[in-house]
Amino acid sequence: QVQLVESGGGLVQSGGSLKLSCAASGSISSINAMGWYRQAPGKERDLVATITSDGSTNYADAVKGRFSISRGNAKNMVYLQMNSLKPEDTAVYYCNARIIRDRWVYVDYWGQGTQVTVSS
């Protein structure tokens, strides 16, 4: 089991910056990848960025060049630095941890979400 707690959301003006943090606890040594997803009202939850245990990163096209994902030295923290924020970035942001059981099976854990609102 993995527990995730996000922090750092809030209200920011267009063009501003925010940094989200996610603290993982529990079976953190089993985590293969962590990431951030977001869900805007009336829309599906979409990938924002992920980072694997070996440091490989992946970003959604909409945030490339503006957002940066990183992990803390203790490996139980993941961060999302968001720069040049736009109103369309407004959403609830969820932290994710993935444990891969085998080639076809994985388990996802989610935080409770943190609201990011970008005003125009």
Q: CA–CA separation, 44 vs 63, rounded Å?
A: 17
> Is the pLDDT confidence value at 88 over 80?
yes
CA dihedral 19, 78, 53, 51 (to 10 degrees): -30
Count CB-CB contacts under 10 A for residue 76: 19
Tens-place pLDDT, residues 90-103: 999 999 999 998 88
Nearest to 89 by CA among 5, 21, 4, 9: 9
Residue 70 — very low, low, confident or very high, per pLDDT cuts 50/70/90?
very high
Count CB-CB contacts under 10 A for residue 102: 6
